C-alpha cells in the first residue's frame, strides 16, 4: 500500500525521510462520544416528531402505508451512525510521509494531501486524550483539540490547489513519531 501511495505523489528528487500511521484510537473518545449521543438524540426527536405529525395529518386519509412511512423516516437514524465509518477508515488506512519537500497524508486516491514544507509558517503539537500527539501546521494551529480529527479528515478531502495555504494536521502520532516529525519539519522547512 505504501508503494501505491507514493507512486503518484513523489517528485523526481524527493526523498522520504519518515513514514508512519496514526496510532490506534477510539472512534468514540471523550470528545466525540458526547457529541454523537447529543446529535443522535436530536435526530431521534426530529424523526419521532415528523412521524407523529405525518400520522396525525394523514389520519383522515385511508390507505396510508405505515411501513413505508416508517422506513422513510428511519433513514436519518441509520445515516448519523454511518458517519463513524469514515473515522474507522482513516484509522485503518491513513499513512503519513514526510519528505525533504512535502508532508503527505494519504488514505486513498481521492483522499490525500500534499503540503509543501516551504509553506509552513507556524506549527505546534498538542496532546490528545489518549496520550498521543497531533502536529498542527499552518491554519490548523490553534484549533480546539476536540476538532483535530475532523480537521485532519477535512484536509484530505479538499483540493489543495484551490487553497494552497490551508493547514495540515497529522493526527494521533505516538510521542516518538511526533518528536521525529517535529525535528524534521524544523530542519527542512523554509521560513518565509
| One pLDDT digit (tens) per residue for the chain, 192 residues | 566 667 677 888 888 999 999 988 777 677 777 777 887 788 888 888 887 777 777 766 666 667 767 777 777 777 767 666 777 777 788 899 999 999 998 888 788 888 999 888 899 999 987 788 999 998 899 899 888 888 888 887 755 455 555 788 999 899 999 999 999 998 888 653
What integer pLDDT is reported at residue 134 of this predicted model? 92
Strand-pair category, 133-137 with 112-116 = unpaired
The residues near 122 (Cβ < 8 Å, ≥ 6 apart) are: 137, 138, 141
What integer pLDDT is reported at residue 192 of this predicted model? 37
Do residues 77 and 47 make contact, with C-beta atoms less than 8 angstroms apart? yes
Strand-pair category, 16-20 with 123-127 = unpaired
What integer pLDDT is reported at residue 99 of this predicted model? 93
pTM check: above 0.95: no
- For the chain, the structural domain boundaries read 2-22+94-188, 32-86
The residues near 144 (Cβ < 8 Å, ≥ 6 apart) are: none
Phi, psi of 20 (to 5 degrees): -170, 180
User: Other C-beta atoms within 10 Å of 154: how many?
Assistant: 15
Domain made up of 2-22+94-188: CATH architecture:
Roll (2.30)
Amino acid at each position: 500500500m505504501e508503494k501505491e501511495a507514493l507512486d503518484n505523489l513523489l517528485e523526481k528528487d524527493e526523498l522520504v525521510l519518515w513514514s508512519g500511521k496514526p496510532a490506534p484510537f477510539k472512534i468514540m473518545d471523550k470528545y466525540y462520544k458526547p457529541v454523537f449521543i447529543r446529535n443522535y438524540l436530536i435526530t431521534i426527536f426530529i424523526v419521532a416528531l415528523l412521524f407523529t405529525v405525518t400520522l396525525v395529518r394523514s389520519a383522515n386519509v385511508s390507505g396510508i402505508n405505515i411501513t413505508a412511512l416508517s422506513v422513510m423516516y428511519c433513514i436519518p437514524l441509520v445515516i448519523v451512525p454511518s458517519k463513524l465509518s469514515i473515522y474507522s477508515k482513516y484509522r485503518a488506512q491513513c499513512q503519513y510521509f514526510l519528505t525533504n519537500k512535502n508532508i503527505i497524508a494519504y488514505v486513498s486516491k481521492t483522499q490525500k494531501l500534499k503540503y509543501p514544507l516551504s509553506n509552513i509558517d507556524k506549527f505546534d503539537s498538542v496532546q490528545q486524550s489518549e496520550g498521543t500527539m497531533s502536529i498542527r501546521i499552518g491554519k490548523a494551529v490553534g484549533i480546539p483539540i476536540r476538532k483535530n480529527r475532523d480537521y485532519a479528515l477535512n484536509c484530505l478531502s479538499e483540493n489543495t490547489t484551490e487553497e494552497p495555504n490551508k493547514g495540515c494536521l497529522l493526527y494521533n502520532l505516538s510521542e516518538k513519531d511526533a518528536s521525529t516529525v517535529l525535528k524534521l519539519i524544523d530542519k527542512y522547512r523554509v521560513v518565509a
